Structure 1
Amino acid sequence: MPVTVEQLGPHDAEALRGLLSKDPISNLYLLGLLEEFGIAPRGRVPFAFYGRFDGQALTAAVFVGGDGGLVVPSASDATATSVIADALASNLTLRSTVGDKSSVDALLRSLAPGKPRLSRTQRLFSVSADDLGPFTNPLLRLAKEEDLPRLLPLAQGYVREVHERDPLAEDPRGYETRVIQRVRQRRTYVLEENGALVFKVDIGSRSQYGAELEGLYTLPSERRKGHALLCLGQISRHLLSSLPRLTLRIDERDDSTARIARKVGYLAGRTWRLVLVD
């Protein structure tokens, strides 16, 4: 059968959904993007899905957002992903990527062969309602726009720790806009104690297949007090009342967060890789 690489269009939506839903845990991020934005852009933000076909069968896919600002491969065979990467190499400048490690490695060989600015190996954790432990904190709440002055330092702190950069120094207006947008979309939850926000967590991607949590951050001065454990349990229990599963990516070097996730009921799965090229 002939092997081809094509930009996917509306007529490919069901095939893409079928491919991704074969492994909904590993593809939860892409399933959320597909459900929220569709397969082709309807607004000003440019993005595209590209697929590898064996004859008529879609065997792998890659999401390209913002002209290479974010590239996300499906959890497919790395050889299939590399075929897409080779096809895109002449027209795509990859700036960041995240996904199943073998597929990300395949992308980098063709799209960014040099040494990246940052590379993190992560473990993809997942949980369903049946796995949850008894940990809750009913004081966890949705963030509000008036929380922004107190929320920004937490959001900034998370990016500093995980990505080793300062988003407020690089693009203060743009980053503040993104934080506000998440709040308006009801994607950020916070814990307030004595008038201060001490913990935050974001819903990064959501679909009928589940949601991915991200941005889990506790103020350094408030750590080792159980906030992360109780709040992760709370948000997980809340979301799993209407969703089948949640995922959470944790750096392999972050043993503390991994212990918390396991205690809540999360199970470690596939190895992922996060790469920032510039």
Structure 2
Amino acid sequence: MLTTTAIKVLEPGELDDALAVLDRDPVANAFVAARVQIAGLDPWRLGGEMWGWYVDGRLESLCYAGANLVPVCATSEAIRGFAERARRQGRRCSSIVGPAEATAELWSLLEPHWGPARDIRAHQPLMVTTAPSAEIAPDPYVRRIRKNEMDLIMPACVAMFTEEVGISPMAGDGGLLYQARVAELVGAGRSFARTENGKVIFKAEIGAATQRACQIQGVWVDPAYRGKGLSETGMAAVLRYALSDVAPVVSLYVNDFNTAARASYRRVGFEEVGAFMSVLF
């Protein structure tokens, strides 16, 4: 009996099928699931196309193709199909990111055509917790950033992004897209910081968020305040907000070479459950 396979861009009417695939792993798929739950599958609203891999007419795997290329529950056969479509289309993304095994396989097929990458983070531990920290007391001075405080939070966000990614988010379009994303998180009440003397000294955001899981991102401490435990107490505070206000499972992923951050997150209660990979262009 022959198996038939196909790949195509999902249509808005296939939303339930897409969500069913995303729901197989609500933690690893939180980024894509959050976008789909807000925007649906219309490419203009979604900020990219959602490619589907079908086996005998059934949707089995996804790949989000926007500013990031993100494989979702992708089998090896699906990855080969997604890679071929991406190769024919040409690179439009600034990164490939997702579960490490699938992302590595996808990149191995695209590297001859898209390489070299500017940077490759081959193993980024995915960490998860479902409970507030039992060891670290939350910093009482960490609070939500208000909508009228964009001028306060933006310098810290730019510093974090530049330090983490290696380029400024203000390049290219003058930072319009990045500022819009920061404003979106502030407006949603998911941007947190501790300030002293009118300056942010710790900050983090709850980025992707669904009813089942959310992801903390953008953790940053002012270099002058590092080594004082602010990342641990600050993270404990953000974790408390995340669990009480957003979702029952909180995750993050971190570079494997950042041993200090990994140890800090473990003390706050996070456990490593898998790994992501990022290919940066």
Assess same fold via TM > 0.5: yes
Rounded to whole Å, the distance in 1 between the matches of 2:121 and 2:17 is 31
Rounded to whole Å, the distance in 1 between the matches of 2:244 and 2:135 is 14
Q: Map Cα deviations across residues 74-115 of structure 1 (whole Å, 9 max, x no partner).
A: 143344222222233211414311111222123223444321
Residue 207 of structure 1 aligns with an amino acid whose one-letter code is: T
The residue correspondences of 1:8-23 to structure 2 (distance < 5 A) are 8-23=10-25
Unpaired segments ≥5 residues, structure 2: none
Rounded to whole Å, the distance in 2 between the matches of 1:132 and 1:14 is 38
Q: Which residue of 1 aligns with 2:170?
A: 168
Is contact 1:92–1:111 with CA below 8 Å preserved after alignment? no
**SS of structure 2 residue aligned to 1:221:** helix
Residue 144 of structure 1 aligns with an amino acid whose one-letter code is: R
Residue 88 of structure 1 aligns with an amino acid whose one-letter code is: A
**SS of structure 2 residue aligned to 1:62:** strand
Q: Which residue of 2 aligns with 1:100?
A: 99
Is contact 2:52–2:59 with CA below 8 Å preserved after alignment? yes
Distance change (3 Å), C-alpha of 1:132 and 1:35: farther
Q: TM-score, normalised by structure 1?
A: 0.90
Aligned mate of 1:123, from 115, 122, 125: 125
Rounded to whole Å, the distance in 1 between the matches of 2:223 and 2:77 is 42
Unpaired segments ≥5 residues, structure 1: none
Distance change (3 Å), C-alpha of 1:95 and 1:111: farther
**SS of structure 2 residue aligned to 1:23:** coil
The residue correspondences of 1:161-240 to structure 2 (distance < 5 A) are 161-174=163-176, 175-240=178-243
Q: Which residue of 2 aligns with 1:76?
A: 74
RMSD: 2.1
Q: Map Cα deviations across residues 189-238 of structure 1 (whole Å, 9 max, x no partner).
A: 11112332101111211111111111000101011112110111111122
Rounded to whole Å, the distance in 2 between the matches of 1:126 and 1:168 is 31
Identity fraction in percent: 23
The residue correspondences of 1:81-160 to structure 2 (distance < 5 A) are 81-93=79-91, 94-113=93-112, 114-121=115-122, 122-129=124-131, 133-160=135-162
Rounded to whole Å, the distance in 1 between the matches of 2:109 and 2:55 is 21
Rounded to whole Å, the distance in 1 between the matches of 2:226 and 2:172 is 27
- Aligned residues between the structures: 273
Q: Map Cα deviations across residues 24-83 of structure 1 (whole Å, 9 max, x no partner).
A: 22112121111122122464x641111111113222100011xxx211111433442222
Distance change (3 Å), C-alpha of 1:53 and 1:166: same
List structure 1 segments (4+ residues) > 4 angstroms apart after TM superposition. Answer: 130-134
* Worse-matched range after superposition: 52-61 or 81-90: 81-90
Is contact 1:82–1:103 with CA below 8 Å preserved after alignment? no
**SS of structure 1 residue aligned to 2:274:** strand
Q: TM-score, normalised by structure 2?
A: 0.89
Residue 251 of structure 1 aligns with an amino acid whose one-letter code is: N
